[in-house]
Structures are given as C-alpha cells and as structure tokens.
C-alpha cells in the first residue's frame, strides 16, 4: 500500500509541475544569489529553486488552497507564515517588503528553526515561488525578468507571501 501511495504522490506532483508549465509566462523564473541585471541572474536572491504559476486561471494567485494543490518543491504541508499585505500565522515574520513596486528587498529576523521556507512574488495574473537558502535571512527581488507587460516593462508586485 505504501508503494501505491508514493506513486500517487509522485503522480500528483508531476501533474502539479505540468500545470505550472502550462500556465507559466513566456519567461520562466530564475533563482540564485545574484539579482537579475537585465541579461541574467535571479528574480529573488538567496533562492535555490523556483516554480512559476503565472498566467491566471485557478493557479494565478498564491492562496493557501493553490499552494496545497501545487505542492511546490515536492513538499506537501506548506503553511502560510506571513504576507506583505496581511495574513499568516506569523511563525516567521516577513520584513522590509514594499508592495506596488518592481524591485526591492525582503528580510526576516529569524527562520525559527524551519529548514524548508519559500517566498512567492505575486504580480499581475500569476506568481512565482522561490525556495530559500536558509543560511540567509534576507535578499533582493525583481519582477524585471518574470512579470512584464506587452512592452517588456516590469510589473509591480501585489504582495509577497512567506511559507514554511
């Protein structure tokens, strides 16, 4: 029975990844330690992986229900800790985020012992999730590569969410 449950879980994860790729914007997210400079680099620094959910539809917002449905990064029990426009259980507090801009910084005072943490950048009709390198408590972000309008200009975030 365990083998069947594992196969089902893997199947659900693959379906989630397939849904991500079907709804992703023309440009996919990038992760790493150096911020995007107009040519290359990360959308969110201090990140080790990313997943797109751009394009609207049922996956277009980083709600708890959508995160639960997608199970990003192969983890199935994410909890909303904080959100730059309010919400979460505050197990980890997100600091220094300004909504309505195209680039900025994020910071937490402590990860409170959590080793699996991700941030989402929510803009326009989608979001991108970034698994954090938990050796760092801060980083920079930009929408210049991931969320752009028809003229190629970066779109502002509506909010950033923090999950553990």
DSSP states of 12-30: HHHHHHHHHHHH--SSPP-
User: Which structure tokens are listed for 116?
Assistant: 């699996």
C-alpha dist (Å) from residue 119 to 148, 151, 153 = 19, 27, 22
Contact 64, 77 (CB under 8 A): no
* pTM attached to this predicted model: 0.81
Does residue 1 carry a pLDDT above 80?
A: no
Distance CA 129, CA 43 (A): 10
Question: Which residues partner with 125 through β-bridges?
Answer: none
42-56, 82-96, 129-143, range with the lowest pLDDT? 42-56
Confidence label for 55 from pLDDT (cuts 50, 70 and 90): low
Question: Of 101, 100, 102, 162, which is closest to residue 137 (Cα–Cα)?
Answer: 162
Which of 16-25, 54-63, 83-92, 145-154 is predicted with the least confidence, judged by mean pLDDT?
A: 16-25
Residue among 96, 144, 99, 92 at smallest CA distance from 118: 92
What mean pLDDT comes out for the span 21-44? 79
Average pLDDT over residues 5-26: 37
């Amino acid at each position: 029975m365990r083998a069947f449950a594992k196969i089902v879980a893997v199947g659900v994860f693959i379906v989630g990844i397939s849904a991500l790729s079907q709804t992703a914007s023309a440009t996919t997210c990038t992760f790493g330690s150096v911020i995007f400079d107009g040519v290359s680099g990360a959308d969110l620094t201090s990140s080790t992986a990313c997943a797109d959910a751009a394009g609207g539809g049922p996956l277009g917002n980083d709600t708890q229900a959508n995160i639960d449905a997608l199970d990003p990064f192969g983890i199935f029990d994410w909890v909303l800790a904080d959100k730059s426009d309010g919400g979460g259980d505050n197990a980890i507090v997100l600091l220094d985020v300004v909504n309505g801009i195209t680039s900025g910084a994020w910071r937490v005072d402590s990860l409170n012992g959590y080793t699996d943490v991700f941030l989402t950048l929510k803009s326009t009709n989608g979001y991108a999730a970034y698994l954090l390198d938990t050796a760092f408590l801060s980083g920079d972000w930009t929408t210049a590569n991931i969320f752009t309008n028809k003229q190629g200009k970066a779109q502002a975030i509506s909010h950033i969410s923090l999950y553990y």
